[in-house]
Amino acid sequence: MSPASKLPIALAAGDGIGSEIMEAVQHVFAAAGVLDQIEFIEAPMGDRVFATGNSSGISDEAIEAIERTGLLFKGPMGTPIGGGGKSINVTLRKKFSAFANLRHFQSLPGVETVFSKAGVPVDFYVVRENIEDTYGGIEHRLTNDVVECKRLMSAPGCDQVHRFAFETAERLGITKVTCSHKANIMKMTDGLFLERFKHVAADHPSIEVNDVIIDALCMNLVLRPDAYQMIVLPNLQGDIVSDLAAGLVGGLGFAPSANIGDGVAIFEAVHGTAPDIAGKGVANPTSLLLSGLIMLRHIGLAKQAAIINNALVATLEDGIHTGDVKGATPPVKTMEFAEAVASRLGTMPRTCVPRVVGTDDRVRFSPGCRPNSYTLRRTFEQVSSQICGADISIATVLPPFELAAKLQPIVESGPFRLTLISNRGTMVWPSGSVHTEIVDECRCRFELKDPALLGRIGQGPVIQLLAKVAEKFEVAEFAPLKRWDGKDGFSKAQGQ
């Protein structure tokens, strides 16, 4: 294939060990004929971009290359400790709406784990929502002692990741998908995630579905990882479970990762930059190579991906490993490992079922058109909402009953009454326990005195309420309360 007709892919080798493991992967790709059909375009990012004062760590040149190609293959990236530098991994996923993180956790021969010793096979996928949740990074200091992190979940965001999970499961022949959550506590955010999972599942009746609370899932994975085929989770929980799952198969060095969006897909090693061994040529390239194989399947080179996968497994079966893997034979260096994989191209594994090679060996990917503007996604378009009150957080050291006594006269003449004071989410007024320890931020809930006013007042009265409270107290936060299609759009306090 001529250079002009090759598929371009943006490439960022990474920091620390990144350049070494990327060189090793490209050596295997070249031996398998992959580089006859693709070409890598450098996308500068990481430490050297941070060093220029760019706090995102991503150059304009990299952004242009990613948008143009719709693909990014990247090694591990460092994040500056302290200062204003943000995680490049998180920035890329959010900037390019790569809403689904797909990771495959599978026992590999020659990689000793508790489960390999016990003869328990580990082979499951984790699909993690990639954009929302606490990873919005929206945080505020409310008072002297209290800081807040907002957790944002949207119905379109949930729908996207759930559809991806079910469609991927069908493509891979997976027959059971599990939704994990904490909807027993976070009834609105995780509740929405679970609700949309069930909604999307209805379109895939051939797949068995169930759900499990996140803490129970973690216990189950440690006890019986073979009970799961695919797990779909919100962002933060998915991040934690992904690392837990990596531990089941030998560590992050054996955990491939892909971030899939409608316009851009990112394939990356998710382990660290390992500065302590950088430049020594001893790093393990397996995670990046496995991530690259997901990329090859994504663009249509499934045959080459299967051949390389079989060669990798055969290499491990032969006891060839880098220094991070226990083994009876002496470890090899990074490029020696890559050369061993390349020399086994066409070899089938002996101890496990080989990947089916098939005939798909031509690129079937073309980047989509760059949007002209931001894309608005909506799920619930015909919804009625009615204002019914406000939550006003006050910075105060007053005891709750004294605070209530000072607030009630303020609202006596208006349409609202004080119905609740909570502290760190627990009700402390009109009832509570003196054993409840409090901090210097109280959330005060005001609701309509007369239910007949529901739907008859707008934002004006709650803004006026805020102004009245702000005349007497230091307001830390304000949130209007609404009912949506007749249901409360706000949570109760603990003990309420």
Q: Which of 224, 259, 294 is the last residue of a domain?
A: 259
In Å, how far are 342, 343, 355, 399, 440 from 30, measured between CA atoms? 9, 12, 20, 70, 62
Tell me, what's the pLDDT at 369? Answer: 85
495 within some domain: no
Q: Is pLDDT of 82 > 70?
A: no
pLDDT above 70 covers a percentage of the chain that reads 98
Of 375, 410, 432, which marks where a domain is finished? Answer: 375
C-alpha angle 120-122-126 in degrees, rounded to nearest 5: 155
Work out the pLDDT band at 124, boundaries 50, 70, 90: very high
* Confidence check: pLDDT of 110 > 90: no
Binned at pLDDT 50, 70 and 90, residue 4 comes out as low
Are residues 477 and 354 part of one domain? Answer: no
Q: How confident is the model at residue 87 (pLDDT cuts 50, 70, 90)?
A: confident
139-143-144-150 Cα dihedral, nearest 10 degrees = -20
- The sign one gets for the Cα dihedral 342, 343, 347, 348 is negative
- CATH code for the domain of 67: 3.40.718.10
In the numeric block, the tokens 């019914």 are attached to 388
Residue 380, in any domain of the structure: no
- The residue segments making up the domain with residue 91 are 1-97+261-375
Euclidean distance between CA atoms 125 and 108, whole angstroms: 15
Burial of 299 (0-12, 13-18, 19+ CB in 10 A): buried
Same domain, 420 and 434: yes
User: Are both 365 and 390 inside the same structural domain?
Assistant: no
pLDDT at 162: 98
Q: What is the pLDDT of residue 17?
A: 97
Q: How many domains does the chain have?
A: 3
Residue 454 in any domain: the answer is yes
Same domain, 106 and 247: yes
Please say which residue of 375, 395, 430 terminates a domain. 375
Query: Taking Cα atoms as reference points, which of 280, 310, 304 lies closest to residue 292?
Result: 304
Mean pLDDT of 207-211: 98
In a shared domain, residues 351 and 213: no
Can you give the pLDDT at residue 3? 57
Q: Are residues 439 and 352 in the same domain?
A: no
* Collapsed DSSP state (helix, strand, coil) of residue 494: strand
Instruction: Tell which phi-psi region holds residue 389, choosing left (phi > 0), alpha (psi between -120 and 50) or beta.
Output: left
The closest alpha carbon to 209, from 236, 186, 225, 232, belongs to: 232
Average pLDDT over every residue of 34-54? 95
Between 367 and 240, residue with greater pLDDT: 240
pLDDT at 367 over 80: yes
* Mean pLDDT value across residues 259-284: 95
355 and 280 housed in the same domain: yes
Q: Which of 40-44, 117-121, 166-170, 422-426 has the lowest mean pLDDT?
A: 117-121
Residue matched to tokens 């004929």: 33
The answer on 254 and 265 residing in a single domain is no
The dihedral over CA atoms of 193, 194, 195, 198, expressed in degrees to the nearest 10, equals 120
The pLDDT, as a whole number, for residue 210 is 98
Angstrom CA distances, 231 to 212, 288, 362, stand at 10, 22, 31
Q: How much is the pLDDT for 256? A: 95
Taking the CA atoms of 217, 220, 221 and 226 in sequence, report the sign of the dihedral they define: negative
Judged against a pLDDT cut of 60, whether residue 1 lies above it is answered with no
> pLDDT tens digit string along 129-178?
999 999 888 999 999 999 999 999 999 999 999 999 999 999 999 999 99
In this predicted model, what pLDDT tens digit does every residue of 307-352 receive, in sequence order? 999 999 999 999 999 999 887 789 999 999 999 999 999 999 998 8
- The pLDDT mean for the chain works out to 95
- Distance CA(50)–CA(79), nearest Å, equals 9
pLDDT band of 402, cuts 50, 70, 90: very high
User: Distance between CA 217 and CA 179 in Å, rounded?
Assistant: 10
Mean pLDDT of 238-249: 96
- Whether 16 is covered by a domain: the verdict is yes
- Does 496 reside within a domain? no
Residue 2 pLDDT exceeds 70: no
Do residue 201 and residue 310 come from a single domain? no
Window from 28-32, 85-89, 398-402, 465-469 with minimum mean pLDDT = 85-89
pLDDT in tens, 286-318: 999 999 999 999 999 999 999 999 999 999 999
Compute the residue count for the chain: 496
pTM score of the predicted model: 0.93
Note the pLDDT of residue 84. Answer: 60
As a 3-state breakdown, the chain gives helix, strand, coil percent values, each rounded to 5, of 35, 20, 40
Give the CATH number for residue 457.
3.30.70.1570
123 and 197 share one domain: yes
Residue 270 lies in a domain: yes
State how far the alpha carbon of 11 is from the alpha carbons of 18, 128, 153, 268, 380, in Å: 11, 23, 31, 10, 38
Which tokens sit at 432?
């509570």
Side-chain-side CA neighbours of 93 within 13 Å: the count stands at 24
Whether 312 contacts 107, CB under 8 Å: no
Question: Is residue 181 one of the residues assigned to a domain?
Answer: yes
Pairing, β 71-74 against β 100-106? unpaired
Confidence bin at 226 (pLDDT 50/70/90): very high
The per-residue pLDDT for 354 is 86
- The reply to whether 338 and 399 lie within a common domain is no
- The reply to whether 299 falls in a domain is yes
Shared domain for 345 and 481, answered yes or no, is: no
Confidence band (pLDDT; 50, 70, 90) for 232?
very high
The pLDDT score that the predictor gives to residue 120 is 92
